Structures are given as structure tokens and as C-alpha cells.
């Protein structure tokens, strides 16, 4: 499996599609100019292609396993993780005060895409560690920060996110894990957590669990939840791993894919933990972790989709059936539309990351609103496209695609999780039409206005493409207005297709910007997207506005297939 990191395309997107120039002009990121950015991406691309990609198949064939209560990672993973840690990649965007490089999130996310493309199972570990670093930076006490951040940032220790319980998935507020004060500033944590990614490993000397639990006086629901730092080994007075904490891995899940990533059932049995942030404000800290992780998961979808398409494209070039099959119109259609969608998703995700950087550098609310609005789109569209691209890649291979040895099937199995974890794509869509339109549509309309303006300015260069984009944004503006006038359950019934429609219009806009500044390749991909993919936004919108009534009126027995009909 060879993988070529799309450094050139990412560099192009930073220069011509997303406002990276604004990021580089801020004081905070003054040292992260285009040349620095390119050098970082090039280095990360080499690590991904040369060190991580060769491990991907190992993870699938020799899954992480549980031996005497300890997770033994897949062959080569420990060395791969070392290479990531020693390159400083875990702390790329972290606070320099604690050893981080303080670089923009947009570079961190571009790097995340490349590493995920190369070896998704392994990359999950630094991604979740980064989420924990973010949460600590924003919410933890100085003491906790001083103790944990340097170790996490250096990759000596790794971090996990403990949210889900058997009875509390999307409904986080239903959790039953208890936290009781010990009286010395620490707490006793008791409960069971499931779906804990990299809940244990032999790659780092300590594992830091960020665990949601309820204090004795915590209210029911999400308002009574606090977040705790529960290390596998309690740090001694020198900050080194000391005595073992009262927690253990109960079992690992057998999953469809990402076999190299151990998914743990964790048991906390009076484990010692320390509060991260304030009592009962655990959800705020968790959301900090999750927002970072959500965008990161979007990048995972894009990365795996890219890797799968590369493999399929190279196969199509070599495979002869009445000439190389890459010349067959239907094969070209699959590769070209998938590639155009991957480009669109990448632009959306990097635009989201840029907004995060601008918010951090300037503190302006407008950037925060843009980042918040784009996060669910970047997550859901990025992972939907990742699935579609990996699926198309299997199909391009024909019968060989169904044979595990080819590797195409692994991409499909692996990428499938990205639509589920860190909030299913349905949850993302509800977030978009719920919370993210709660400003009366201001963030949405601001974005649509930007597209309308941008399309107008592109009219002289690319009249047909610009017209299509302008028209789609105008139609979406009307659809958004319509959506805003609806009650929440009505919105939810169309949330997923609305998210897709928005993503496609955004994708058309970014492709148009790329066509304006790019060469034949960018113009070619823009034509494919705007003429073949973008049009689907219109019927996505029709479905989005079809409302709840027809769905609500169906008998449950019809939905379960237990009626005669």
C-alpha cells in the first residue's frame, strides 16, 4: 500500500481557498508563514507515507489484544507512535509554555488527515491525546496543567476520553458513574465506561483518562456532570508514574474495522481522580475535547477516502480490460466525482480549522461562530465522503475489491467508524439545524453571503461555474430561511439532507475559488464537482424540507417490518 501525501493540494488550498494568509498575519501565528507551513506539511507527509502507511495492514491482520489485563498493540505501532511523539507532532498546536509548538490548528488538522490516511488505528491515539490537551489547556487548574501537559505533549503519556456508558450514548446525561470527594482534593471514581479508544496500550508509560462522572450533589441530566483526570498510574512526587490506580480494562470489542485500535470496556473501581475545571461543568470541558476531535474525525474520513482513491486510481491505471480501465467512462466517473468531493470536504474542514485559528488569534466572535457552524458539516460530510470514496474504491477494483488481501476492503471497514464516533452524523446534523441555527441563522447567512459575493466576483473568469454556484447559494438561502421558521422536530426530520446540501454548496464555492487561482487540474475538478455533484444539493434540500409528518405518521410496525406491509 503506497500512499502519497497530498501536500501540494493542501498547500494550494491554504494559499488560494481558505484565508490562511489572515492566520499568518496575526501576532499569535506570525511565525507560521506559507513557507513554514509547507515545510511542516512536507515533513508530516514523509512520516505518514514512509513510517505510518507500512503499519496499516499490521493493525488489521494482528489486532491489538488483551493479555493479562494489558493491551498489547499491533506490530510496529509502538515504534510508529514513538516517531510521531519524537517529531513533536502530538504537540503541534499545543501551548509552547508546556512544550507545544503553538502552531495553527489548520496545520495540525492537515497533518491529522495525512496520518489518518496512512494508519487510522494508530493515529486515533495522538488525536485523542490532543483533545485532552485542549481540554486541559482551557479548563484545568495550573497544577494539573503543570503535571500532565508536558507529558501528554511530548507523547510520553497518552490521553483518552471516557464518555459513553452502556445506557448512555448520545444521551450523555443518563450516565451513572459516580465521583465521591476524598477530602484531600481528589475523588473516588466508580463506574463502567464503554467504547474507550486506546483505553490501554504498551506504547506510553502512562494513560490519562478524562472521565465524566456525577458528584453526590450533581443534578440529573447533563448539568450535574463533572470531568475528572484519572491516570492509570498516579504520578509520584516527581511527576513520574507511581502506584497503579484502581481501574482496569475489562475487555476489548471485536469490531468491523480499525482492528489496530483497542476499543476498551473500562472499569473504574474507586479510582483516584482530580477535577478538570469546575464541579458540574464537565460538559463544557468535554465539548472542548469533542469539538477538536469532531473536526479531527472529519479529517480522518477525508484521509482514508484519499488513500483509498489513490490505491483505486493506480489499480485502474494498471488493470487492462479492453484497455486500461481508468479510460472507461464509468470508472472515471467514480474516481472523478469522489476525488472532487474529497477536495470539497478538505476545503470545508480546513476552512473550519482556519476559523478556529482566527478566533484564537483575534478573539473575534465572528470567527468563533464560523468555526462552530462548520464543525458539524466538516465532521459529517468529511466522513460521509470518506465512506463513499472508500466504497467507490472497492467498486473500481471489481472482484479484487472484495478480497481482503487487496486492502480496499480494509479502508471501507476502517472508515465506517468515522460516521459513528464523536457523535453520529445524525447528531451532527441535529447540532447544525439546532444549536448552530440558534443565532437566528446569522452565521449561516453570513457564510451564504460570502458565497454569493464570491460567485459574483468569479463571474468574469468562469461565468457558467460561477452562475451555478451563485444560484445554488441563493436557493440554499431561501431553504435556510424556511428551515429557520420550523419547530425543532420538523427541522430534525430534514437535518441530515440539509447538512449535505449545505456541504455541497460550500464545496461548489471552494471549487470555484480553486478554479480561479488554479490550473487545468483545479479547473477540471471544479467542472466535475459543479456540474455533476453540486446539482444534487437541490434535491437534498427538497428532502430536507419534506418535514416530519410523513415520517411520524408511519406505524412503528411498518418501520420494523413486523406488520404485513
Q: Are 311 and 407 in contact (CB under 8 A)?
A: yes
Can you say whether the dihedral through the CA atoms of 423, 424, 427, 433 is positive or negative?
positive
Minimum distance, C-beta of residue 6 to a second copy, in the bound complex (Å): 6
Question: What is the spatial distance between Cα 304 and Cα 292, in angstroms, rounded to a whole number?
Answer: 19
Can you say whether the dihedral through the CA atoms of 250, 254, 255, 257 is positive or negative?
positive
Cβ distance to a second copy smaller for residue 51 or 336: 336
Segment lying near a second copy (by CB under 8 A), choices 84-92, 181-189, 266-274, 330-338: 330-338
Cβ distance to a second copy smaller for residue 281 or 531: 531
> Considering all CA atoms of the chain, what is the largest pairwise distance in Å, rounded to the nearest integer?
77
User: Helix or strand or coil: residue 485?
Assistant: coil
**DSSP per residue, 286-306:** HHHHHHHHHHHHHHHHHHHHH
Cβ distance to a second copy smaller for residue 339 or 367: 339
> Where would I find the H helices in 140-223?
142-154
Site for a second copy in 451-490 (CB under 8 A): 489
Cβ distance to a second copy smaller for residue 83 or 484: 484
Burial tier of 279 (Cβ tally within 10 Å: 0-12, 13-18, 19+): middle
Minimum distance, C-beta of residue 241 to a second copy, in the bound complex (Å): 30
79 sits near a second copy (criterion: CB under 8 A): no
Residues 193, 214, 339, 436: which binds a second copy (CB under 8 A)? 339
Catalytic residues: 422
Binding mask 419-448 for a second copy (x = CB under 8 A): xxx--xxx--xx------------------
35 sits near a second copy (criterion: CB under 8 A): no
Question: What is the spatial distance between Cα 416 and Cα 419, in angstroms, rounded to a whole number?
Answer: 6
Site for a second copy in 368-407 (CB under 8 A): 387, 391, 394-395, 398-399, 401-405
Q: If DSSP states are collapsed to H, E and C, what string results for 49-108?
A: HHHHHHHHHHHHHCCCEEECCEEECCCCHHHHHHHHHHCCCCCCCCCHHHCCCCCCHHHH
Minimum distance, C-beta of residue 285 to a second copy, in the bound complex (Å): 22
* 368 Cα distance to chain centroid: 18
238 sits near a second copy (criterion: CB under 8 A): no
Residues 134, 137, 165, 306: which binds a second copy (CB under 8 A)? 306
Can you say whether the dihedral through the CA atoms of 309, 313, 318, 319 is positive or negative?
positive
- DSSP β-ladder status, 157-162 and 206-214: parallel
Q: Are 76 and 58 in contact (CB under 8 A)?
A: yes
326 sits near a second copy (criterion: CB under 8 A): yes
φ, ψ at 195 (rounded to 5°): 60, 40
Q: Give the contacts of 218 (CB within 8 A, at least 6 positions apart).
A: 224, 225, 226, 279, 280
Residues 120, 225, 334, 458: which binds a second copy (CB under 8 A)? 334
Residues 329, 363, 440, 460: which binds a second copy (CB under 8 A)? 329
Site for a second copy in 172-211 (CB under 8 A): 174, 194-195
Least Cα distance to 500 among 536, 465, 473 occurs for 536
Cβ distance to a second copy smaller for residue 91 or 257: 257
Site for a second copy in 534-563 (CB under 8 A): 535-536, 538-539, 542-543, 546, 548, 550-556, 558-563
528 sits near a second copy (criterion: CB under 8 A): yes
Site for a second copy in 149-168 (CB under 8 A): 164, 167-168
Segment lying near a second copy (by CB under 8 A), choices 5-13, 29-37, 67-75, 107-115: 5-13
50 sits near a second copy (criterion: CB under 8 A): no
Cβ distance to a second copy smaller for residue 96 or 398: 398
Binding mask 241-280 for a second copy (x = CB under 8 A): ------------xxxxx-----------------------
Amino acid at each position: 500500500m503506497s500512499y502519497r501525501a497530498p501536500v501540494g493540494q493542501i498547500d494550494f488550498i491554504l494559499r488560494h481557498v481558505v484565508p490562511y494568509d489572515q492566520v499568518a498575519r496575526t501576532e499569535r501565528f506570525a511565525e507560521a508563514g506559507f513557507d513554514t507551513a509547507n515545510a511542516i506539511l512536507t515533513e508530516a507527509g514523509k512520516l505518514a507515507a514512509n513510517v505510518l502507511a507500512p503499519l496499516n495492514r499490521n493493525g488489521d491482520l494482528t489486532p491489538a489484544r488483551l493479555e493479562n489485563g494489558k493491551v498489547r498493540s499491533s506490530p510496529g505501532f509502538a515504534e510508529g507512535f514513538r516517531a510521531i511523539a519524537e517529531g513533536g507532532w502530538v504537540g503541534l498546536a499545543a501551548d509552547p509554555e508546556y512544550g507545544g509548538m503553538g502552531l495553527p490548528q489548520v496545520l495540525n488538522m492537515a497533518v491529522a488527515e495525512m496520518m489518518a490516511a496512512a494508519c487510522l488505528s494508530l493515529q486515533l491515539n495522538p488525536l485523542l491525546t490532543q483533545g485532552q490537551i485542549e481540554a486541559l489547556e482551557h479548563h484545568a487548574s495550573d497544577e494539573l496543567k503543570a503535571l500532565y501537559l508536558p507529558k501528554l505533549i511530548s507523547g510520553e503519556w497518552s490521553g483518552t476520553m471516557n464518555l459513553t456508558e452502556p445506557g448512555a450514548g448520545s444521551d450523555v446525561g443518563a450516565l451513572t458513574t459516580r465521583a465521591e470527594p476524598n477530602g484531600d482534593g481528589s475523588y473516588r471514581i466508580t463506574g463502567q465506561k464503554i467504547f474507550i479508544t486506546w483505553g490501554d496500550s504498551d506504547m506510553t508509560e502512562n494513560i490519562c483518562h478524562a472521565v465524566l462522572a456525577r458528584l453526590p450533589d450533581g443534578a440529573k441530566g447533563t448539568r450535574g456532570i463533572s470531568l475528572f483526570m484519572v491516570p492509570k498510574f498516579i504520578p509520584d512526587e516527581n511527576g513520574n508514574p507511581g502506584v497503579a490506580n484502581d481501574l482496569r480494562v475489562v475487555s476489548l470489542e471485536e469490531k468491523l474495522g480499525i482492528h489496530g485500535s483497542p476499543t476498551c470496556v473500562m472499569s473504574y473501581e474507586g479510582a483516584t481522580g482530580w477535577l478538570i475545571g469546575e464541579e458540574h461543568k464537565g460538559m463544557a470541558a468535554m465539548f472542548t475535547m469533542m469539538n477538536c476531535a469532531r473536526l479531527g474525525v472529519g479529517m480522518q474520513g477525508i484521509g482514508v477516502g484519499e488513500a483509498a482513491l489513490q490505491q483505486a486510481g493506480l489499480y485502474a491505471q494498471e488493470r487492462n480490460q479492453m484497455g486500461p480501465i481508468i479510460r472507461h467512462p464509468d470508472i472515471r466517473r467514480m474516481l472523478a466525482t469522489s476525488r472532487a468531493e474529497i477536495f470539497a470536504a478538505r476545503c470545508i474542514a480546513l476552512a473550519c480549522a482556519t476559523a478556529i485559528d482566527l478566533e484564537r488569534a483575534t478573539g473575534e466572535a465572528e470567527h468563533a461562530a464560523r468555526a462552530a457552524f462548520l464543525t458539524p458539516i466538516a465532521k459529517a460530510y468529511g466522513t460521509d465522503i470518506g465512506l463513499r470514496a472508500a466504497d467507490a474504491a472497492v467498486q473500481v477494483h471489481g472482484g479484487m475489491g472484495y478480497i481482503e488481501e487487496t486492502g480496499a476492503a480494509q479502508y471501507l471497514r476502517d472508515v465506517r467508524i468515522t460516521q459513528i464516533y464523536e457523535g453520529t452524523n445524525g447528531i451532527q446534523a441535529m447540532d447544525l439545524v439546532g444549536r448552530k441555527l440558534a443565532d437566528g441563522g446569522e452565521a449561516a447567512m453570513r457564510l451564504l453571503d460570502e458565497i454569493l459575493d464570491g460567485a459574483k466576483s468569479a463571474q468574469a473568469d468562469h461565468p457558467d461555474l460561477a452562475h451555478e454556484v451563485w444560484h445554488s447559494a441563493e436557493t440554499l438561502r431561501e431553504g435556510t430561511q424556511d428551515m429557520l421558521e420550523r419547530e425543532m422536530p420538523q427541522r430534525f426530520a430534514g437535518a441530515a439532507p440539509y447538512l449535505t446540501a449545505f456541504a455541497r454548496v460550500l464545496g461548489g464555492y471552494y471549487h470555484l475559488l480553486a478554479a480561479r487561482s488554479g490550473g487545468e487540474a483545479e479547473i477540471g475538478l471544479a467542472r466535475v464537482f459543479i456540474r455533476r455533484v453540486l446539482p444534487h444539493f437541490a434535491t437534498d434540500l427538497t428532502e430536507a424540507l419534506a418535514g416530519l409528518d410523513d415520517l411520524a405518521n408511519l406505524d412503528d410496525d411498518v418501520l420494523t417490518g413486523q406488520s404485513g406491509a
